[in-house]
A and B are shown apart, each in its own frame.
Chain A
């Protein structure tokens, strides 16, 4: 019994929460349990899910990345403002990914090489980018998103929306990369003990740096998907996304230095967010109520994080 409890405590809470939400929905609103309806709801959290892939990676190497908010805002604004002119979509995508990687590289340099606190460094980067976007935007309010992007966003493969497929494929790629490639072992080792990793010959600094670059890359992808999901650009993207990403990652069983939940734990952490909105919308909970519920999920994740660290 004790060993059963012990192994149960290693299962990420995301799976329990997901199962509970799914059961609630099944019992109360069975008519919502069809792929078309669910697909639309899940599509909404695809940008968050993609951002979580990076967050999970940096948290496993004992860092954190809050600069996703800045990357999202900057790319969102660049696409919507018309500053890029008539740039073809491929170039826009490449530019977005390059911005993400560049921000990630800068974060990684600060955190891995200069040993700056990750929270402070990445938060500062967000503040700087926000200021920069406001500077660009003075007198130039964001305009419409290219219609082509929105059309692609709405595409489906069978009943499954394209963004959900992109998210799932990226997650699968990540799962394979971390479990079958040397870099995945570096991530495991650095998360477990950076000093011992160093003495074993693991390139600790490089591992952390690459994790941040990848996190920046995923923020770039998330920004493109998020931009495609809206018709009009916005200057009011707050810190919610990266905080949600941290919460989903922790719910998924990945805490600083420990990757119990693997890649799929955080995936289901994000799914919890999706289901929660379905459940609340179907019960007619208004926007402020949803906000409170989101806060409660983040608190739940923080409590779980506290429990998990005390255990180890």
Chain B
């Protein structure tokens, strides 16, 4: 029998980073195939190529033996590939039926859409999933689980042969997961091929027939799941040598500079507490979207509805802070927040390097005061950070990712913050710049500063941090010393449900 999907030697680069490097992948009809790997292993990129979101740089994709190239997701759906992505693609202000037939409305005379026909066919597709929702319900009124079912129903209606489920259960509770799993079994029985991306081990072993493991954009192994144990699978996902990138760690930590007590994030979770010491680099690890960034963003007023007590250098800060003043009031307490999304939240891309470095220092002053002279500071920071640029007047958008990141960090170095909270210190940064950033952060810690680091790269946290907190479902599920932590242990703790 022909495989439902066969990808051969597929490669995709974004800029200078190879997201997917010469990967081959096959799935037969009637199989559920798990795709596993750490965050950033290239799973989602691989699937997005199959779903027509990205186009491969090289390699070929065959569907039922036919070579295909998709210009957009709609063509992929027409060829029988249905995708349920983590970030859902339904339009919230349209009804279920309108979403289902978006761009392919059934039209009668004079091109007028026939609502009744579309409603009836939507009803049928939903009924196949055992759902009895009115097709005229607005998508915005549905729960996340229901929206995912609607996406799957969309695929059923389009008579898709291949279903890609990208972490479909991440937002579901146990009961909904059961309903979803029942649907998956039905699809499987109907001879559909299902590609299943999930971080939940129990689900993988309960639902899937085969597994393909990816790491750093490469294919590691494909085998039937019944030949593997969960531990062996984790070992496959991790298996990498620790590069010799990291400077040594702190020998002794100072007093507590930031203490977080009974922080309750909005979704009604258990309170969590932790301390940060002078001279410490504290890592927060966990799988994608388990609340890591909500924890640190609640410190700057970006997460409404949080409660808890924060104390910075023994000054109490009552949470929640107002959104408009959070960043500023924390900067007054000498706490700098370095956002992950450098282009959207971090840098003023069109403005010169000097302005980007100086803006926090300037904005600590009232608007009617004259600017302070920062030329020397900017030049010193650029030198310390080894920013490669012709002059401080170059727009920051013209720099490479690594240099942009250095400018962003340089801003908080210039304003001499005591505590730095850094989301993804090395996102989209090449290996050389990474090592420089690690050394810089360690230097800062040695000067007595305290740093909280969030990262998707477990290796980075292990190499860099003195202590690591592992977060799962907005709870701290494990705390380990950086020097004792292993990728295996962190992944194991993070996968625990």
Contact = CB atoms under 8 A, between A and B. Distances in A.
Contacts of B325: 203
A181 B363 contact: no
Interface in B185-204: none
Nearest to A205: B324
B362 A185 contact: yes
B359 A202 contact: yes
B369 A181 contact: yes
Interface residues of B, number: 30
Contacts of B347: 193, 196
Nearest to A192: B348
A61 B366 CA distance: 18
B360 interface: yes
A196 B344 contact: yes
A41 B139 CA distance: 60
A311 to B, nearest CB: 11
A72 interface: no
A112 B365 CA distance: 20
A182 B337 contact: no
B350 A186 contact: no
Nearest to B347: A196
A198 B327 contact: yes
Interface string B339-382: 10000111111110001001110111111111100000000000
Given A193-B344, A195-B345, A196-B347, A185 B359 contact: yes
* Dominant secondary structure at the A interface: helix
Nearest to A207: B367
B55 interface: no
Contacts of B249: none
Contact of A182 (B331, B348, B365, B411): B365
A201 B363 contact: yes
Contacts of B360: 200-201
A60 interface: no
Contacts of B363: 182, 185-186, 189, 200-203
B327 A201 contact: yes
Between B327, B362, B367, the greatest number of chain A beta carbons within 10 A of the residue's beta carbon is seen for B367
Contact of B366 (A182, A189, A197, A204): A182
A196 B345 contact: yes
Given A188-B355, A195-B345, A258 B331 contact: no
B422 to A, nearest CB: 12
B327 A196 contact: no
Contacts of B369: 181-182
A185 B357 CA distance: 12
A180 interface: yes
B343 to A, nearest CB: 8
A207 B349 CA distance: 19
A201 B349 contact: no
Between A186, A188, A196, A201, the greatest number of chain B beta carbons within 10 A of the residue's beta carbon is seen for A201
Contacts of A189: 348, 351, 355, 359, 363
Contact of B371 (A182, A193, A196, A206): A182
A198 B355 CA distance: 15
Sorted nearest first, the 3 A-B pairs with minimum C-beta distance are A183-B367, A192-B348, A201-B363
25 contacts: A180-B370, A181-B367, A181-B368, A182-B367, A185-B355, A185-B359, A185-B363, A185-B371, A188-B351, A189-B348, A193-B344, A195-B345, A196-B344, A196-B346, A196-B347, A199-B327, A199-B337, A201-B327, A201-B328, A201-B331, A202-B359, A202-B363, A203-B324, A204-B324, A210-B367
Interface of A: 180-186, 188-189, 192-193, 195-207, 210, 258, 312
Given A180-B370, A199-B345, A203-B367, 14 more contacts: A181-B367, A182-B365, A182-B368, A182-B369, A185-B363, A189-B359, A193-B344, A195-B344, A198-B327, A199-B327, A200-B363, A201-B363, A205-B324, A207-B367
Interface of B: 324-325, 327-328, 331, 337, 339, 344-351, 355, 358-360, 362-371, 411
